Amino acid sequence: GESVGLHLPTLSVQEGDNSIINCAYSNSASDYFIWYKQESGKGPQFIIDIRSNMDKRQGQRVTVLLNKTVKHLSLQIAATQPGDSAVYFCAEDQMTTDSWGKLQFGAGTQVVVTP
Amino acid sequence: NAGVTQTPKFQVLKTGQSMTLQCAQDMNHNSMYWYRQDPGMGLRLIYYSASEGTTDKGEVPNGYNVSRLNKREFSLRLESAAPSQTSVYFCASSGASGGAETQYFGPGTRLLVL
């Protein structure tokens, strides 16, 4: 079946640098994408979302880019801080009747921020 | 505003025992979800409830049952626990009742089945 996956399982970033986390999706019908952050022992926390009619969306220190041509999603974190260390998941929603509410999650990327 | 709460936080069961995981949200959301998360994997949907009074199967429903008790509460029941059900269980809710919407997650229940 269709799936969402991540290019890199672990990303090591120096404090203050920018981080880029990548996500490939295979279902061109997907209309809505979300990035979640999960700290150890906690539930996923919403970071930012984007709909398929956009190619870029910015939040506080985060930017999500969507390239529908190559079915690629990325999360950019500016000036990475120690508190950004976590596992980051991308998720997609196909927004069809059969798939309603069924977010498909990638396996996650572990981001480690080093001093 | 507590968001999504789950009880218990931890549980150890023996094979064949039953238990119910509780979930409540105070955001007046219509939709609620149960996921499981296994090591090194993303979340997989077990069951969801689009609105009060409705429930539907997700990707991995076998071995589980759910009850949408009211708009706030959505419980997950394991009738006869198996070691394969050892996992971390997350409840989530969203405002949508028929469309994509951000899902907000609880802190999780860590379940070990011996």
Summarised one tens digit per residue, pLDDT across range B60-72 is: 999 999 999 899 9
Tell me B82's DSSP state: -
Residue A52: pLDDT over 70: yes
> What burial class does residue B45 get, using C-beta atoms within 10 Å of its C-beta: 0-12 exposed, 13-18 middle, 19+ buried?
buried
What is the arithmetic mean of pLDDT over B84-97?
A: 89
**B108 CA to chain A: closest CA distance, Å?**
6
Q: How far apart are CA B4 and CA B56, in angstroms?
A: 20
- Which amino acid, A38? Q
Residue B12: pLDDT over 60: yes
**Average per-residue pLDDT in chain B?**
91
What is the arithmetic mean of pLDDT over B45-72?
A: 93
Least confident span in A88-92, B37-41, B66-70: B37-41
Task: Provide the pLDDT confidence category of residue A96 given band limits of 50, 70 and 90.
Answer: low
**Average per-residue pLDDT in chain A?**
87
Ramachandran quadrant class, B99 (left: phi over 0; alpha: psi -120 to 50; beta: rest): left
A50 in reach of chain B (CB within 8 A): no
Q: Identify the sign of the CA torsion B106, B92, B44, A91.
A: negative
A residues 1-20 lying closer than 8 A (beta carbon) to B: 4
Q: How far apart are CA A95 and CA A111, in angstroms?
A: 29
Task: Provide the pLDDT confidence category of residue A3 given band limits of 50, 70 and 90.
Answer: very low
In a mutagenesis test of the B interface, which of A87, A99, A103, A105 is the best target, namely the one with the most B β-carbons within 10 Å? A103
Count the helix, strand and coil residues of chain A and give each as a percent rounded to the nearest 5: 5, 50, 45
User: Which residue numbers of B have CB closer than 8 Å to A's CBs?
Assistant: 4, 31, 33, 40-45, 48, 50, 58-59, 90, 92, 94, 96, 98-100, 102-108
Task: Provide the pLDDT confidence category of residue A105 given band limits of 50, 70 and 90.
Answer: confident
Nearest Cα residue to B21 out of B92, B74, B86, B80: B74
Contacts of A98 (CB under 8 A, 6+ apart): none
Q: How far apart are CA B82 and CA B80, in angstroms?
A: 7
